[in-house]
Amino acid sequence: MADAPYLIALALLEQNGARAMPLQGKSLREPLAAEADPGEVGRQQALELLVRVWQRSDQGALSRAGADQSLLLVTVPIEALQEAIPALKARWLNSGDTAALLSELKELASGIWSLGLEPRQPLNFQRLA
């Protein structure tokens, strides 16, 4: 694993009959602990991404394209940003195969979490890999 991991928040959406995958990311100073979740930095990245998604709703109705796994946080080596992540995104945009996307992310990422929110509870992370 690279010394400089990158935390990516991504949303799997459909809008006006087309798939979209907006991304938001931040370089981490050091890898997350083995069983840790993205914590406050993850919440901040998710918030920034969701503001962008909210602004995007001006262009038409949005729907989740990956059910409960439509909002993800992923830690990847920074080197993945040049080729691997754009390739994964392009394949998902063309196919819409969320299971294949998650499988490929699991091979690349050191951690994957979906985000959830229960009524009257704080935002929580569910580890997928």
Sheet with 5-11, edge to edge strand ranges: 23-27, 5-11, 71-77, 111-116, 124-127
Domain count for the chain, please give it. Answer: 1
Question: Can you give the residue range of the structural domain that contains 56?
Answer: 5-127
Chain segment 59-109, per-residue pLDDT in tens: 999 999 988 899 999 999 999 999 999 999 999 999 999 999 999 999 999
Chain segment 13-56, per-residue pLDDT in tens: 999 999 999 999 999 988 888 788 899 999 999 999 999 999 99
